[in-house]
Amino acid sequence: MEIQGQVNYISSLVGYKTPARYSARAEFVFDTLELKNKRVLDVGCGKGGLLAWAALQGAAFVLGLEPEEEGAVGGSYATLEKVVSTLSLDTVEISRSTLDGYSFSKPFDIVILYNVINHLNEHAVVDLHSNPDSHNIFLGIAKKIRSVMAANGVLILADAARSNLWGDLGTKSPFARTLEWRKHQNPAIWRALFEHVGFRTLDLRWSQHYLLGKWSSNFLMRYVTSSHFVMRFILNNENTMGNR
């Protein structure tokens, strides 16, 4: 199957309305980041949309961790398996392991945390900004991520911000009905946390609404919709797996 055909197949399988929407999202997340010949780790990879994109762009190896329990209603892992097997993505490995449960042997050039950082500890994330104990829990998570990355590796972190019009009003957002805003944190909190353990912030971008384009990629527009952002960090710290 040629690449466009693969993109078409993946987009429908993982839940995008059109291949164009899938491509736009992946291109926005990775932007100008070089994927060819890179080792990529996707933590909480879900149905595998970004994982598959990295593989199709020539990544040397892609590991997807999706610790969905057997028989879960969401069915993410079953879809993930179908994506990998149907497209014969030989450079991809998937596992039900957690970040702590997987035995890593080589460092990664790129680590993806797409809409997953708050799920790594949903209890501690609620008061991460004010509770030293919760802050220390997430410092440990950040150090774990750092430990599996190569020097100059890039971390991609995407999530919904805590600050949102609908959340501040104490009601559900019509744009993100299932979000529990108190289980998220603003970009400034994540920036301080990851910079504390040796990362440097590359950029922060507010996600675009597909139909509205670039003008929708700003804090105000995101504040009244889904508050979704993408941050990228670079690790040029000596305390990495690649330099042990």
pLDDT tens per residue across span 49-94:
999 999 999 999 999 999 975 444 467 899 999 989 888 888 999 9
pTM equals 0.91
CA–CA gap between residue 218 and residue 185 (Å, rounded): 17
Mean pLDDT, range 182-196, rounded to an integer: 96
- Whole-number pLDDT of residue 244: 42
Tell me the angle at which helices 132-147 and 187-196 cross, rounded to the nearest 10 degrees: 60
Residue 172 has pLDDT above 90, yes or no: no
Determine what percent of the chain is predicted with pLDDT higher than 90: 68
In sequence order, what DSSP letters do the residues of 115-182 get, joined into one string? S-GGGG-TTGGGGTTT-HHHHHHHHHHHHHHHHTEEEEEEEEEEEE-S--HHHHTTS-BTTBTT--GG
Q: Quick one: average pLDDT of 125-141? A: 97
State mean pLDDT over 11-29.
92
Are 227 and 161 spatial neighbours (Cβ–Cβ below 8 Å)?
Answer: yes
Q: What is the DSSP letter of 60?
A: S
Q: What mean pLDDT is reported for the chain?
A: 89
Sign of CA dihedral 27, 28, 34, 40: negative
pLDDT score for 214: 67
What is the tens place of the pLDDT at every residue in 198-213?
A: 999 999 999 877 656 6
Look at 168 and 1; give whichever has higher pLDDT: 168
The closest alpha carbon to 159, from 200, 191, 124, belongs to: 191
pLDDT-based confidence at residue 240 (cuts at 50, 70, 90): low
pLDDT at position 177 is: 81
Phi, psi (degrees; rounded to nearest 5) at 207 = -65, 140
Q: Counting Cβ atoms within 10 Å, is residue 171 exposed (0-12), middle (13-18) or buried (19+)?
A: exposed
Separation of CA 27 from chain center: 13
Residues contacting residue 117 through CB under 8 Å, at least 6 positions apart = 125, 157, 159, 190
> 16 near 23, Cβ under 8 Å?
no
